């Protein structure tokens, strides 16, 4: 099996409607509008498959408006982070599509309700009549970044965290990742952003933009993330030197720190989504920093349109555009 890079042709993007009033409980009207804008923006370029149980579909239709290129799927979810609990599409050597269904435990049991989310990948496999493979390991989609050519990047703070697979050996987990994602080598960075509920997902700090090129987050020394991100940058540079492989490393500055109740939020421009013709990138109401990030992304993806999406409310719950989405490779 192998997972294609995100720029591989896609037949759809999965998203989940925020049905539960436990999430964004103090900003429900606005978050529904923000979700509708995100769904509509993505559907302009790629079909959206929206997970939304039937009792909430009228609400979703009301906020979204036109459902052109949007399919509503009557499946119940606990939360909205499709990247982590949703189906991961891979191909076998015959180019046949399969779904990998890793176990999901809400990022190490941080939240009580996750049974519905954990069932989603298998349900989607059934709907699409696709073979579903269920490794006996807990792993989230946002924990692994692949280039589609045998190289992956992840973080020790997630992969080796005992809140996921306490009874499994590290070598066994790494072998499973290599087998099911089709990678031969993993760059294991030390960790992610401060106050990231995921324990430091790679999709919030370091992303491939081509087979031999990565964008990696940096910041100045006044930011609490400075030390970790500098270590990550050095690890990427050391990988290139040690393996005598060219790896273009592009620095992607974090937005200025955003605080809620005195705690820094894990806001990052790296939480972007690559679709067929566009790249959807977070913005945070910081004109200079937002434009700088968009310019960097445009240079990395010269043939795609850069679409900024306001993520100030999304990040309050801990994620961004990439966390909310999961691509379906062309079937």
Alpha carbons within 13 A on the beta-carbon side of 205 = 32
CB 316 within 8 A of CB 265: yes
Q: Residue 319 CA to chain centroid, in angstroms?
A: 9
Torsions phi, psi of 143, nearest 5? Answer: -85, -10
User: Which of the following is catalytic: 19, 52, 217, 323?
Assistant: 323
**What is the SS3 assignment for 21?**
coil
Alpha carbons within 13 A on the beta-carbon side of 223 = 23
Does residue 323 carry a catalytic annotation?
yes
Cα separation values, 313 from 35, 89, 104, 162, 207, Å: 10, 29, 24, 30, 23
Element spanning 187, H or E:
strand 185-189
Contacts of 245 (CB under 8 A, 6+ apart): 212, 239
Q: Considering just the CA atoms, what is the radius of gyration of the chain in Å?
A: 18
Among 59, 75, 14, 10, residue whose Cα is nearest residue 321: 14
Element spanning 13, H or E:
strand 10-16
CB 4 within 8 A of CB 91: yes
CA–CA separation, 301 vs 142, rounded Å?
A: 21
Torsions phi, psi of 189, nearest 5? Answer: -75, 165
Would you please indicate which residues are annotated as catalytic (active-site) residues?
Answer: 323
């Amino acid at each position: 099996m192998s997972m294609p890079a995100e720029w591989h042709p896609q037949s759809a993007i999965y998203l989940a409607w925020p049905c539960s009033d436990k999430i964004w409980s103090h900003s429900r009207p606005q978050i529904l509008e923000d979700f509708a804008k995100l769904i509509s923006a993505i559907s302009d370029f790629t079909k959206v498959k929206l997970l939304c149980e039937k009792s909430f579909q009228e609400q979703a239709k009301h906020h979204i408006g036109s459902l052109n290129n949007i399919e509503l799927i009557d499946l119940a979810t606990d939360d909205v982070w499709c990247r982590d609990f949703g189906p991961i599409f891979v191909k076998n050597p015959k180019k046949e599509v399969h779904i990998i269904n890793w176990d999901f435990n809400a990022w190490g049991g941080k939240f009580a309700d996750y049974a519905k989310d954990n069932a989603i990948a298998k349900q989607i496999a059934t709907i699409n009549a696709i073979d579903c493979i269920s490794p006996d390991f807990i792993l989230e989609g946002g924990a692994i970044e692949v280039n589609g050519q045998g190289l992956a990047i992840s973080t020790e703070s997630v992969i080796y965290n005992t809140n996921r697979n306490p009874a499994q050996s590290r070598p066994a987990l790494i072998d499973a990742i290599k087998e099911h994602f089709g990678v031969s080598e993993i760059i294991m960075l030390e960790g992610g952003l401060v106050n990231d509920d995921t324990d430091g997902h790679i999709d919030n700090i370091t992303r491939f933009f081509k087979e031999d090129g990565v964008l990696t987050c940096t910041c100045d020394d006044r930011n609490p993330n400075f030390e970790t991100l500098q270590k990550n940058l050095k690890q990427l540079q050391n990988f290139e030197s040690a393996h005598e492989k060219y790896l273009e490393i592009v620095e992607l500055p974090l937005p200025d720190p955003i605080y809620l109740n005195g705690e820094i939020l894990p806001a990052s421009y790296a939480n972007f989504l690559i679709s067929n013709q566009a790249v959807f990138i977070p913005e945070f109401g910081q004109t200079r920093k937002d434009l700088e990030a968009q310019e960097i992304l445009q240079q990395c993806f010269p043939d795609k349109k850069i679409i900024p999406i306001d993520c100030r409310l999304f990040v309050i719950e801990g994620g961004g555009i990439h966390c909310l989405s999961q691509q379906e490779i062309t079937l």
